[in-house]
């Protein structure tokens, strides 16, 4: 999220007035150790640890210079600066304690909430330590075993499912069943909004502490706390693991029949029990679990909660203004809810910012002094949704094998069938090929057809991520042309990002700060010691047997 995303959501989208605007206090400077343009792993690690690091690195920092390495030296600016794809770090790294570990050592409850996979770069940077953000098998293991997160809510079930039981869905590179492990460790498991509501209600009814006094390996909770299970005698409080999609959660624009219009007049679109909960609903559930008191004698040490609207970034990678606006609306609604919570207390602080800007969006483009707001708000689906819909319908075509793109494209019958599918999908998303004002020509449809055939043949339609998927990118370009919203990149940019704060200590965040300094200020505001917290984490990590699931 960058400055222009706010303008787009407020002035061109359905969000209307933003609560974020009322609490703007400054800016965060986002560069990483080795590049002016950070990725999410380095950006989030700066906030989580108070230390700058290399792109691609999660919860670890350069050895020998923990705060600020000269990003202009040598050839460092090129290495590892290409986003979520494979990219080596440029030097040795070491784990650094996070604000979550410091909070847990201080007796606080902790949680992460996100619209991405919970193992994705930003939540991972607050809850694990790996040199490569793509090692999500390890990240999930650390989240369940070596941290006592009370709340884990988002997408990414594929990283927790057993490959033996779910060979088509599991993305793990081992045979571990982290769902079973989490349940053994006292987590209530939720797969949709109804499950989450039931889990939270049961926590309240039962007094809350389902998984209390469990140790790291399922052993005797009465062992001395000086052993390798240093928190064994602590009551961890209630635990909820909610995984509402195998990968990232659906975009807001795709989750509602009324698309972006559901956010008009300050509203938050409702969700059914069988659907994934909204960001606001996840936040509300997290607040109940983290803040509820279940016994008069229970100490009130407070809590730390990370809430991420991570799909703002994904929509911007696809240069999809409609997707971005929906995610921005949801983020602002969640921020409003957090502000309401803080305003009712005298001991709480909410800080909001982003890891980086994405897409280099311009509100206006193409040498025109305008944005077509009507066309923008006429969008009904994301480019991601349209791409998936086209591929799904193509695979239903009888007797067509998309293994040789050139041969498939040369078959006029198949080409015409795919064109019809693409045209229908675009129309359902708010772009009519027959309407000249929608700026979708025959050549655009042909390009989408070619990209769709190639995507299936290459396997991209199954393995693609939100970045670098040519079919999605082409659809995003075509769908958003009529909006007159411009983009300079399908990657991140190095501009400063807005910083918001409200509550006790908010004034400390006023001004322009390096991102790692924002992390340090959050740690100081919470009054915790990440370094000592990590020592506990390290000891617990050493006793995890990744080859054996507890009974």
Whole-angstrom distance, CA of residue 418 vs CA of residue 450 = 9
| Ordered DSSP codes for 349-384 | EEEE--S-EETT-BSS-TT-S---HHHHHT--S-HH
Dihedral of CA atoms 531, 534, 536, 537 in degrees, nearest 10, equals 180
In a domain, 168, yes or no: no
The SS3 assignment for 305 reads strand
Number of residues assigned to the chain: 551
**DSSP code of residue 498:** E
Residue 209: exposed, middle, or buried by beta-carbon count in 10 A (0-12, 13-18, 19+)?
middle
In a domain, 380, yes or no: yes
pLDDT of residue 516: 96
> Tokens standing for 365?
């483009």
pLDDT of residue 6: 95
**Helices 279-291, 193-206: inter-axial angle, 10-degree rounding:** 10
pLDDT of residue 413: 85
Query: Do residues 135 and 20 both lie within one domain?
Result: yes
Does residue 81 contact residue 34 with C-beta atoms inside 8 Å? yes
Query: Do residues 13 and 92 both lie within one domain?
Result: yes
Query: Do residues 112 and 68 both lie within one domain?
Result: yes
For the beta carbon of residue 341, count every other beta carbon within 10 angstroms.
16
Q: What are phi and psi of 438, to 5 degrees?
A: -85, -10
Query: Do residues 132 and 270 both lie within one domain?
Result: yes
In a domain, 440, yes or no: yes
In a domain, 500, yes or no: yes
Q: What are phi and psi of 251, to 5 degrees?
A: -60, 150
In a domain, 350, yes or no: yes
> Tokens standing for 102?
């410091």
In a domain, 234, yes or no: no
pLDDT of residue 550: 41
**E strands present in 400-542:** 492-493, 497-503, 511-514
Q: 439, 459, 483: which is the final residue of a domain?
A: 483
Query: Do residues 462 and 505 both lie within one domain?
Result: no
Query: Do residues 340 and 382 both lie within one domain?
Result: no
What is the H or E stretch that residue 419 is in? helix 412-428
Q: Which residues pair with 151 in a beta bridge?
A: 111, 240
Query: Do residues 257 and 357 both lie within one domain?
Result: yes
Residue 549: exposed, middle, or buried by beta-carbon count in 10 A (0-12, 13-18, 19+)?
middle
Q: Which residues pair with 198 in a beta bridge?
A: none
CATH of the domain at 267: 3.40.720.10
Residue indicated by tokens 């209307």: 16
What is the H or E stretch that residue 132 is in? none
In a domain, 118, yes or no: yes
Nearest to 185 by CA among 225, 156, 129, 147: 147
Query: Do residues 250 and 272 both lie within one domain?
Result: yes
Q: 452, 483, 514: which is the final residue of a domain?
A: 483
Query: Do residues 471 and 380 both lie within one domain?
Result: yes
Residue 257: exposed, middle, or buried by beta-carbon count in 10 A (0-12, 13-18, 19+)?
exposed
Question: pLDDT tens string for the chain (551 positions)?
Answer: 999 999 999 998 788 899 999 999 999 999 999 999 999 999 999 999 999 999 999 999 999 754 544 333 333 333 333 444 445 456 889 999 999 999 999 989 999 999 999 999 999 999 999 999 999 999 999 999 888 899 999 999 999 999 999 999 999 999 999 999 999 888 999 999 999 999 999 988 877 554 443 333 333 333 333 333 333 334 567 899 999 999 999 999 999 888 888 888 788 888 888 899 999 999 999 999 998 766 554 557 899 999 999 999 999 999 999 999 999 999 999 999 999 999 999 999 999 999 999 999 999 988 889 999 999 999 999 999 999 999 999 999 988 888 766 656 568 888 899 999 999 999 999 999 999 999 999 999 999 999 999 888 887 666 666 666 889 999 999 999 999 999 999 999 999 999 999 999 999 999 999 999 999 999 999 999 999 999 887 777 655 554 444 43
Q: 435, 455, 483: which is the final residue of a domain?
A: 483
Query: Do residues 524 and 404 both lie within one domain?
Result: no
Q: Which residues pair with 62 in a beta bridge?
A: 93
In a domain, 207, yes or no: no
Does residue 60 contact residue 32 with C-beta atoms inside 8 Å? no
Query: Do residues 304 and 355 both lie within one domain?
Result: yes
Whole-angstrom distance, CA of residue 122 vs CA of residue 45 = 8
pTM, two decimal places: 0.89
- Give the chain's domain count: 2
pLDDT of residue 220: 34
Whole-angstrom distance, CA of residue 250 vs CA of residue 255 = 6
**DSSP code of residue 58:** B
| Domain limits for position 288 | 3-162+241-362+494-541
Whole-angstrom distance, CA of residue 306 vs CA of residue 135 = 21
Query: Do residues 409 and 535 both lie within one domain?
Result: no
Whole-angstrom distance, CA of residue 92 vs CA of residue 157 = 31
> Tokens standing for 472?
């999605």
């Amino acid at each position: 999220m960058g400055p222009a995303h706010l303008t787009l959501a407020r002035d061109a989208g359905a969000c209307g007035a933003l609560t974020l605007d009322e609490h703007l206090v400054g800016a965060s400077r986002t560069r990483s150790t080795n590049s002016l343009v950070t990725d999410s792993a380095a950006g989030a690690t700066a906030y989580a640890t108070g230390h700058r690091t290399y792109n691609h690195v999660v919860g670890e920092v350069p050895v020998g210079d923990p705060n600020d390495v000269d990003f202009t030296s040598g050839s460092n600016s090129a290495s590892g600066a290409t986003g979520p794809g494979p990219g080596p770090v440029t030097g040795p790294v070491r784990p650094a304690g996070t604000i979550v570990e410091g909070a847990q050592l201080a007796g606080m409850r902790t949680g992460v909430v996100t619209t991405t996979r919970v193992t994705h770069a930003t939540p991972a940077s607050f809850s694990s330590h790996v040199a490569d953000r793509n090692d999500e098998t390890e990240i999930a293991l650390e989240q369940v075993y070596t941290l006592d997160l009370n709340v884990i809510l988002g997408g990414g079930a594929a990283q927790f499912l057993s490959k033996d039981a779910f060979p088509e869905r599991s993305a793990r590179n081992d045979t571990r069943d982290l769902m079973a492990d989490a349940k053994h460790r006292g987590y209530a498991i939720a797969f949709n909004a109804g499950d989450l509501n039931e889990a939270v209600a049961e926590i309240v009814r039962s007094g809350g502490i389902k998984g209390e006094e469990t140790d790291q390996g399922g052993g005797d909770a009465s062992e001395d706390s000086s052993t390798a299970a240093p928190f064994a005698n602590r009551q961890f409080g209630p635990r909820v693991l909610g995984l509402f999609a195998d990968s990232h959660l659906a975009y807001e624009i795709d989750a509602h029949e009324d698309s972006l219009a559901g956010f008009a007049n300050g509203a938050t679109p409702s969700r059914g029990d069988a659907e994934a909960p909204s960001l606001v609903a996840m936040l509300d559930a997290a607040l109940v679990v983290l803040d509820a008191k279940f016994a008069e004698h229970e100490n009130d040490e407070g809590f730390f909660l990370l809430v991420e609207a991570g799909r703002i970034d994904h929509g911007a990678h696809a240069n999809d203004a409609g997707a971005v606006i929906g995610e921005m609306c949801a983020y602002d609604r969640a921020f409003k809810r957090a502000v309401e919570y803080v305003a009712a207390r005298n001991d709480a602080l909410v800080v909001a910012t982003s890891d980086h800007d994405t897409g280099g969006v311009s509100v206006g483009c193409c040498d025109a002094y305008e944005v077509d707001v009507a066309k923008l708000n006429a969008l009904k689906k994301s480019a991601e949704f349209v791409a998936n819909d086209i591929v799904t319908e193509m695979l239903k075509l009888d007797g067509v094998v998309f293994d040789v793109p050139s041969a498939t494209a040369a078959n006029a019958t198949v080409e015409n069938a795919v064109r019809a599918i693409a045209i229908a999908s675009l129309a359902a998303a708010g772009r009519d090929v027959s309407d000249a004002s929608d700026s979708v020509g025959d050549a655009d449809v042909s390009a989408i057809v070619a990209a769709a055939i190639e995507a299936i043949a290459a396997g991209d339609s199954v393995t693609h991520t939100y970045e670098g998927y040519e079919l999605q990118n082409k659809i995003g370009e075509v769908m958003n042309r009529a909006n007159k919203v411009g983009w300079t990149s399908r990657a991140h940019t190095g501009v400063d990002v807005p910083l918001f704060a409200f509550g006790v200590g908010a004034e400390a965040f006023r001004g322009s700060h390096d991102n790692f300094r924002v992390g340090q200020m959050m740690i100081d505001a919470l009054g915790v010691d990440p370094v000592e917290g990590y020592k506990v984490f390290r000891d617990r990590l050493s006793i995890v047997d990744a080859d054996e699931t507890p009974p």
